[in-house]
Amino acid sequence: MRYPKLRELKEAIKALLKGPYTSKFPCQPHQPYERFRGRPYFHEEDCTGCAACAQVCPAKAIEVEDIIQDGQAKRKLTIHWDICIFCGQCQANCLTGKGIILSQEFAFATTENRQQLKDGVEKDFVLCDCCAQPIVPSAQYTWVAKRLGPLTFSNASLMLFYLKSFGLALKENISRRKEGDFLRSDRIKILCPRCRRQAVIKS
């Protein structure tokens, strides 16, 4: 006669005492573990619009759209939950660490409202004072200025943006420059890298 192994008997007794490992979802709500990776959400206050999350997303679930219209520029970030694989790379590589965070939500399957399976955020762009091209999202500029502290004043563009955000810089009429038509005074403006290079060479 074959007797059961002690290990198998031990596991059987533990299963009888502790009950099943599975939950009764969907009949009853299920509470995931603390480190469960669920549906990611953008956080308006902490997101800088740097798009680092879109660059590291292996499933290309985060869409980045730069919109320039009527002298205004915005960056629109949209995450598509129906494409997301919930790997957590977006949260791990976020500039602030809190711009996009994975929640514990997992039950969002649908057959009709697929267009609603997304979340997005919009950020204003800082425009170049000479060519009017977008440089960087203003929230990212603010975050960099706060991180640098007094070193902010070593960069003319960053210094002027920081002062304007507090209303400490004079408002002036912005005159657009053509290529090669820069003045020495243009160096003390909010410039994109291309225009700053031309302004430095010209002066």
DSSP string, 2-54: PPPPHHHHHHHHHHHHH--SS--TTTS-----TT----EEE-TTT-----HHH
In this predicted structure, what is the pLDDT of residue 59? 94
102 with 165, same domain: the answer is: no
Please tell me the predicted confidence (pLDDT) of residue 42: 95
Beta bridge partner(s), residue 134: 127
Mean pLDDT by 10 residues, the chain (203 residues): 72 82 80 87 93 94 90 90 92 93 86 83 89 88 90 86 76 58 76 84 74
Statement to judge: residues 119 and 133 lie in one domain: no
> What is the predicted pLDDT for the residue at 101?
93
Domain residue limits at 74: 36-125
Quick one: pLDDT at residue 170? 61
Q: What pLDDT, on a 0 to 100 scale, did the predictor assign at position 202?
A: 75
Q: Where are the alpha helices (DSSP H) in 41-155?
A: 52-56, 89-92, 138-148
CATH number for position 73: 3.30.70.3270
- In the prediction, which pLDDT does 8 show? 82
CB atoms within 10 A of CB 107: 10
On whether both 46 and 79 belong to a single domain, the answer is: yes
The three-class DSSP label of residue 178 is: coil
Do 117 and 136 reside in the same domain of the chain? no
Residue that finishes a domain, picked among 125, 155, 174 = 125
Q: Rounded to an integer, what distance in angstroms lies between the CA atom of residue 87 and that of residue 62?
A: 13
For residue 47, the model assigns a pLDDT of 94
One domain, residues 119 and 144:
no
Judge if pTM exceeds 0.95: no
